[in-house]
A and B are shown apart, each in its own frame.
Chain A
Amino acid sequence: MLKALILQVIVLIGSSLSYQINGKWYCRNNMDCLPWESKNTETLPKIYETQNLCRLMCGKFRGLWPQVTRICNIEKSVNPVNFELITFDYPNDNENIKDFYEQVTLLFKRNLIEECGKSCSMQSNNSLHIRISVVDKSLMLNSLTDESYRLNISTMTDNEITVQISAKTIFGTRHALETLSQLMVKTVDDNDQNGLLIVSSADILDKPFYQHRGLLIDTARHFISIASLMKILDGMSANKMNVFHWHITDSQSFPMEIKRRPEMHGNGAFSKDKVYFKSDIDKIVQYAKYRGIRVIFELDAPAHAGKGWEWGEKSGLGKLAVCVDDQPWRKSCIQPNCGQLNPSNENLYSVLHDIYQDIRDYKEKNEFIHMGGDEVFVKCWNNTKEITDYMATKNYDRNNVIGFLQLWSEFQGKALNIWDNITDEKESIVMWSSELTLPENIEKFLPKERYIIQTWIPNNSDIPQKLLDKGYRLIMTTKNAWYFDHGFWGNTKYYNWKTVYANTLPRNELVLGGEVCMWSEYLDEHSIEMKIFPRLNAAAERLWANPKTDLNAVESRFYRQRERIVAKGIQADAILTEYCTLFEGECRG
């Protein structure tokens, strides 16, 4: 009897899907995709077999994320494509360009498999031919790289669908392929085979609003493995985010291999496995580049430098850093463990010279270097005799914060000189906003031609505007929206994706863009993905398209993009109940 019952259930479940998901979806008010129920009595709308197909046909921006900024004409029909019959025609002027396109087209196909499923074997006679043409074939990726692209999908002739991609740079064409993969959607044919549909025609012209669209990851408070970083880079590329700001060291650890000074990581890593060796770093930079992502290295200084710097005395170089591991730590720094570089020690600068050379070799030419510059703790220096003696010889006033700013800017000036001596051109330096960069101080210490300021201030502060008025270039990290570590410690508040999305930056050409920050005191690689995703997607659309904020209209598209991130194996957080994602628009109000 029991067996019979069980059989009956299996038959029921197998034979009919839940009525809610019965393969009939429609687009309501050109906005929401919902299951079609026969009891609805309005005129019969166009019915789609899956929600994702409906999404691709519904609304101005369909399932695209981030939204397209210039021209976005997409036909409301689709054609099947045979995955086996996708071909490319791309520039192969030299081995490097050929290699780049091999990788980029492979990643494109990987996107398609993530969409289609692992057996994407639907039979179809339709081939897809993708022609890519580029004006400037340089493989240099930096802040000057043009990322715009044009994408045309043309109507099928003789079973051939043609896609034409053109862009100024090869990185623009990479973005185009990312967009193209979002214009294709999974289908299941009558033989139960997975396959792909592509919109039958489209004309897209796209260009980012902000050139700097970044994510900071702190790998010093917790070590994050390169496999984990790569997964995050995958997620960034799906969002056309283009800057990985690598806060690679801090007072707590120094995991970056320094070939010229192996004492640094030898003393500073949490364990022998928790080191980014040169080979790792080179691979990350290359891996990022295939995904259109720049890597900006930050060597935070003079504060936030402790572990890794303690070996100076033993080697006869004196104290490179002071206050290292001081207890009680509250007297010498803002969080344990303490440590701050010793600007009075000339040997510090020769060590810095070596470290900078290693970083110069790691990074792309003409890419920014980030020199840190946040949270200098005056008391630490003030309690160190070696430093106060030095200040006396320089006539820096110990009783006035200006005296310490002079000492700090002397350090910064020397650091800049070292950097200029080892690089061919005068590159731009990024620094965190600080006392040194206050509108009333900054011009005394940091020339605007050389320095870009990364602000990390709440959105009600007028400091960014004052810095813009003085002509400084800014990268903005709105502290009360884009600090992704908030909400898990102390009195900080979590910013959900809506807050992240709604955060706008000034429209000013000196604002290069923005970054969200993933500080890692309270996460490691187990929890980093759900803290970054899907919120990063929200920042990505803000920075790429800078759209008007209408959260109701973007919610479904946002969820679609979240699904793509999950398909990459990223453990993203959820934002809505599953019901609300199926019944779009029914959970508003």
Chain B
Amino acid sequence: MYISETQDFISSPYLTHINNVVKNSEMLLANYTDERNRSSVTEPWTYSCEKNKCIRKLHSDLSSEVRVTFLSCAMTCGDNVNIWPLPKSAQMKKTIQNIHLSNIQYKIETPFPNVADLMHKAVALFVSDIKQVMKANGADFGSKSINEENVTVNILMKILEFNETILTMQSDECYHLFIKQQDTSLNISITSKTFFGARHALETLQQLIWYDDAIHSLRILNSVNINDCPKFNYRGLMLDTSRHYFSVGSIKRIITGMAHVKLNRFHWHIVDSQSFPFVSEFYPELSKYGAYSSKEVYTHSDISEIVEFAEVRGIQVITEIDAPAHAGNGWQFGSEKGLGELSLCINQQPWNRYCGEPPCGQLNPKNNNTYMVLEKLYSEIVNLTKTTDIFHLGGDEVNFDCWRQFFKGADLKKLWCDFMIEAYDRLVTANNDESIKYATIWNSEFEKVKCLPAENFTIQVWLAKNPELKRFIDSKYNLIISHVDAWYFDCGFGTWRSTSGEGVCPPFKAWYTVYNYQPWNELYLTSEQMKQILGGEACMWTETVDEYSVDIKIWPRASALAERLWSDIKKFSIPVETVQRFSIFHTRFLDLGLKSDVIWPEYCEQNLNECII
């Protein structure tokens, strides 16, 4: 908001006047938002659990009883396990213990110092999340709660098997969370093979704790046994930072949301033909020519900051330099530097002949320097993002009319194949000559793709459906599912180009469409074939969104995706239980200080049983 921007105002005398203007207009607003007299109304609603349902009632009708808040009812009433995404197996008694933040202790048992380090940070995040939730629910940290009970909370975390902190496709993210009370000590034990499992367990634990503003206390379910594992290893969200620039802060906000729903791959479509915000240390000309402005860039330190931020949250950053198409602005520097034309058709008009969307640009496959530059970029990214076994090479939407202008008579399909294979080889070189098992490319038609060896290439599928999809499987490719008709979050906001239609994109995919999408069910795969589906990813292309509206377009839909990929409950329609649980989680998401679109009317949030047909 305007107000927060003015806080770092310099107080030089010359600026006093402006300061006053700002202050005056702040006061103008402050005047309106100051503490209002609320004494005339008391909190109206109390809840009672009847037939496993929380029923909202006027507290004034039952004023002799202590008010029961919505969550204190919802957490204990009925069989719902109010955790999002739903754990694989959970047993719990719906009994409550009031606890105090300052009585929480924790201990980490692990032979790996790096895991211990990271785990301490994860616990700190957990504590600050709980504080955030308390604050959002009106906790006054100074005052003592009415139901002060001296219960010590001991969290014991054991991570004994692996020291990895960046995911691979083999990483184990399972955990066991066990909560048991013995008199005045509440023991929480978390066991996992890896850091990832343990941090997911904290995320689950956080959802078992809530703040009750009727009794002014933090509360927890005190008898819980959860064994949890994700269905898919790859649970991703893609952000395009080329069509619009996104500040580091806004990217962190997105990653924070991902962590809360156990999404684990942040696919960063960092450059495209529109702009090149990545500041390469080998070729700074790319961002010099390609960034929207000198401020709209990602330096090495920005990227490292984001990678570390993600690492503590169990999230891997996968940075994509799309090639050979979707590469225009930034690449002009070649001829100036004696490297020849690195990219062709840059900003060529009429654009609709030479690319899918303006401005055009496609790498020059016959210039050896193109691969040299790519290799250097790959090596920078490999180091910055601590690449393991997955990398994204782009590879989509090559426009043959662009290339045909320069390579008359050439077999353009072969040209593309050769390009991708050369790019892969350069990647391996950049990766210290270690091969990368899951070099990912966007799907083009199968006919184009089949020249690429399935043992190295993974296909991110956004168009292909049956029977083409099945052919990918039969040809042994590993797949990441991102179908445009379910998991493209940019769709449904109308076309931004003046003449072209909207193609396959519309309509808007509501959260239930995102949730219900389970294309692997229609493929009738053997369990061996099922392993070829690494997981899925939602794509936030950013032609018509920037950091002001991106949260609303991503959330709560990415949370819906998260449960599909983590829990993958096979149902044809969404059960009532799921909608209610999602509604509760939505409120938690907001309490955690994040922004999200809503699921349904506020009345329904308060009356979970009244809005379902």
Interface residues of A (CB under 8 A from B): 5-6, 8-9, 12-14, 16-21, 83-84, 103, 106-107, 109-110, 113-114, 118-121, 221-223, 226-227, 230-231, 252-253, 257, 262, 265-267, 269-273, 275, 277, 279-280, 283-284, 287, 307, 325, 327-330, 336-337, 487-489, 493-499, 520-524, 526-527, 529-531, 551-552, 566, 568-580, 582-583, 586-589
Given the known inter-chain contacts A20-B289, A569-B1, A579-B275, please indicate yes or no for A84 contacting B17, CB distance below 8 A. yes
Q: Mark B296-339, 1 if CB is under 8 A from A, else 0.
A: 11011100000000000000000000000000010000000000
Given known pairs A277-B37, A587-B351, the reply for A574 and B329 (CB within 8 Å) is no
A579 touches B294 (CB 8 A): no
Query: How far apart sit A586 and B360, CA to CA, in the bound complex (Å)?
Result: 11
Least distance between B240 CB and chain A CB atoms (Å):
10
Of A119, A222, A275, the contact of B598 (CB 8 Å cutoff): A222
Q: Is B142 an interface residue (CB 8 A)?
A: no
The answer to whether the Cβ of B38 comes within 8 Å of any Cβ in the partner chain is yes
Asked whether A336 lies within 8 Å of B604 as measured between CB atoms, the reply is: yes
Choice from B28, B44, B297 contacting A266 with Cβ under 8 Å: B44
Among the listed A9, A226, A523, A574, which residue makes an inter-chain contact with B33, where contact means beta carbons less than 8 Å apart?
A226
Q: Which of A273, A524, A526 contacts B38 (CB 8 A)?
A: A273
Contact A118 B597 (CB under 8 A): no
Residues of B contacting A257 with CB < 8 Å?
40
A-B contact count (CB 8 A): 278
Q: Which residues of A contact B356 (CB under 8 A)?
A: none
Binds A, one of B4-12, B160-168, B184-192, B530-538: B4-12
Interface status of B519 (Cβ within 8 A of chain A): no
Nearest CB of chain B from residue A261's CB, rounded to whole Å? 13
Which residues on the B side are within 8 Å of A265 (C-beta)?
A: 41
B25 and A107 contacting across the interface, CB-CB below 8 Å:
yes
9 closest Cβ pairs, A-B complex:
A496-B494, A530-B549, A579-B274, A252-B603, A571-B548, A577-B243, A587-B358, A569-B1, A573-B549
Give CA–CA (A279, B32) in the complex, Å: 9
- Across the interface, do A530 and B543 meet the contact criterion of CB distance under 8 Å? no
Chain B residues near A272 (CB-CB < 8 A): 38, 41-44
Given the known A-B contacts A6-B300, A118-B18, A576-B496, are A12 and B288 also in contact in the complex, defined by CB atoms under 8 Å? yes
Q: Is the CB of A9 within 8 A of B299?
A: yes
Contacts of B358 in A (CB 8 A): 579-580, 586-587
| Interface SS of B by simple majority | loop
Q: Is the beta-carbon distance between B494 and A230 smaller than 8 angstroms? A: no
CA distance A509 to B473 in the complex (A): 65
Q: Of B14, B243, B289, which one neighbours A578 at CB under 8 angstroms?
A: B243
Q: Which residues of A contact B409 (CB under 8 A)?
A: none
- CB closest chain-A residue, reference B58: A267
B146 within 8 A of A: no
Partner of B493, one of A19, A330, A496: A496
Taking CB atoms, residues of chain B closer than 8 Å to A19 are 288-289
Q: Which A residue sits closest to B43, measured CB to CB? A: A272
- Please indicate which of the listed interface residues B279, B329, B552 has the most CB atoms of chain A within 10 Å of its own CB: B552
Chain B residues, CB < 8 A from A113? 18, 21-22
By beta carbon, the residue of chain B nearest A493 is B507
In the complex the two chains form, what is the Cα distance from A586 to B351 in whole Å? 8
User: Which residues of chain A are within 8 angstroms of B590 by Cβ–Cβ distance?
Assistant: 526
- Which of B111-119, B394-402, B419-427, B605-613 faces chain A? B605-613
CA distance A582 to B358 in the complex (A): 12
**Which B residues lie within 8 Å of A589 (CB)?**
349-352, 497-499
Contact with A along B521-558 (1 / 0, CB 8 A): 00000000000000000000011111011011000000
Q: Are B552 and A279 in contact, with the CB atoms below 8 A? A: no
Q: In the complex, what residues of A have CB within 8 A of residue B551's CB?
A: 526
Please pick, from A495, A522, A531, A571, the residue contacting B600 in the complex, using a CB distance under 8 A.
Answer: A522
A83-B18 in contact given A267-B58, A527-B597, A576-B496 (Cβ < 8 Å): yes
Contacts of A231 in B (CB 8 A): 1
**Distance from A387 Cβ to chain B, minimum over Cβ atoms (Å):** 23
B596 touches A526 (CB 8 A): yes
- The smallest C-beta distance from A463 to any residue of chain B, in angstroms, reads 27
Could you say which residues of chain A place their CB within 8 Å of the CB of B606? 270
In the assembled complex, which residues on chain B have CB atoms less than 8 Å from the CB atom of A336?
603-604, 610-611
> Given A267-B44, A521-B601 in contact, is the A573-B545 Cβ separation under 8 Å?
yes
Sampled A-B contacts (27; CB under 8 Å):
A12-B288, A83-B17, A110-B21, A113-B22, A118-B18, A221-B603, A227-B29, A252-B603, A272-B38, A277-B40, A336-B604, A487-B492, A488-B597, A494-B493, A522-B601, A526-B551, A526-B598, A527-B598, A573-B549, A574-B542, A574-B545, A576-B543, A577-B274, A579-B275, A583-B347, A583-B359, A587-B358
Please judge, given known A-B contacts A496-B495, A588-B499, A589-B351, whether A21 and B18 are in contact too, CB under 8 Å.
no
A-chain residues with CB within 8 Å of residue B43 when the two chains form the complex: 271-272
A118-B9, A270-B602, A272-B41 known; 18 new pairs, CB 8 Å cut-off, are A12-B284, A20-B289, A106-B28, A109-B21, A118-B18, A119-B15, A227-B29, A271-B43, A329-B611, A488-B508, A522-B597, A527-B552, A527-B597, A571-B552, A572-B549, A574-B244, A578-B292, A589-B498
A495, closest chain B residue (CB): B494
Greatest chain A CB density within 10 A among B275, B499, B596 is at B275
Q: B52 an interface residue at 8 Å Cβ cutoff?
A: no
**What is the minimal beta-carbon distance from A116 to any residue of chain B, in angstroms?**
9
Chain A CB within 8 A of B89 CB: no
Q: Is B36 an interface residue (CB 8 A)?
A: yes
- Could you tell me the distance in whole angstroms from the C-beta of A41 to the nearest C-beta in chain B? 16
Interface size counted on chain B using CB atoms at 8 A: 96
B448, chain A: closest CB distance, angstroms: 26
Q: Is the CB of B359 within 8 A of A575?
A: no
Mask of B42-74 contacts with A, CB within 8 angstroms, 1/0:
111100000000000010100000000000000
On whether A524 and B288 interact (CB within 8 A), knowing A120-B18, A337-B607, the answer reads: no
Contact (Cβ within 8 A) A588 B25: no
Q: Complex formed: what's the CA distance from A249 to B3 in Å?
A: 30
A113 to B359, CA, bound (A): 34
CB atoms of B494 and A494 under 8 A apart? yes
Complex CA–CA separation, A574 to B357 (angstroms): 17
Contact for B349 among A5, A287, A580, A586, CB less than 8 A = A586
In the complex, chain B residues whose CB is within 8 Å of the CB of A252: 601-603
- Residue in B510, B595, B598, B607 with the greatest tally of chain A CB atoms within 10 Å: B598
Chain A residues near B543: list those with CB within 8 A. 574, 576-577
What's the minimum C-beta distance from B406 to chain A, rounded to whole angstroms? 20
Contact partner of A575 among B279, B288, B492, B544, CB < 8 A?
B544
Q: Name A13's contact: one of B294, B349, B508, B601 (CB within 8 Å).
A: B294
Give chain B residues whose Cβ lies under 8 Å from the Cβ of A571: 548-549, 552
Contacts of B607 in A (CB 8 A): 337
Q: Which listed residue (B275, B299, B544) contacts A576, Cβ 8 A?
A: B544
Q: Is the CB of B546 within 8 A of A526?
A: no
A43 to chain B, nearest CB (A): 21
Determine if A106 and B290 form an interchain contact, defined as CB atoms under 8 angstroms apart: no
B288 and A283 within 8 A (CB):
no
Could you tell me the distance in whole angstroms from the C-beta of A235 to the nearest C-beta in chain B? 12
Task: Known contacts A17-B293, A522-B597, A526-B596; decide if A325 and B22 are in contact (CB<8 Å).
Answer: no
Closest residue of A by beta carbon distance from B291 = A18
Chain A residue nearest to B276 (CB atoms) is A18
- The residue on B at minimum CB distance from A574 is B546
**CA distance in complex: A387, B591 (Å):** 45
Residues in A neighbouring B25, C-beta threshold 8 A: 106-107, 109-110
Chain A residues near B357 (CB-CB < 8 A): 577, 587
Contact (A578, B244) CB under 8 Å given A279-B36, A279-B37, A489-B510:
yes
* Chain A neighbourhood of B391, CB < 8 A: none
In the complex, A521 Cα to B599 Cα: how many Å? 9
Q: Which residue of B lies closest to A328 (CB)?
A: B613
* Chain A contacts for B496, CB-based, 8 A: 496, 575-577, 580, 587
Nearest-neighbor residue (CB-CB) of A251 within chain B: B603
* Docked complex Cα distance between A109 and B20 (Å): 11
| A282 → B minimal CB distance (Å) | 10
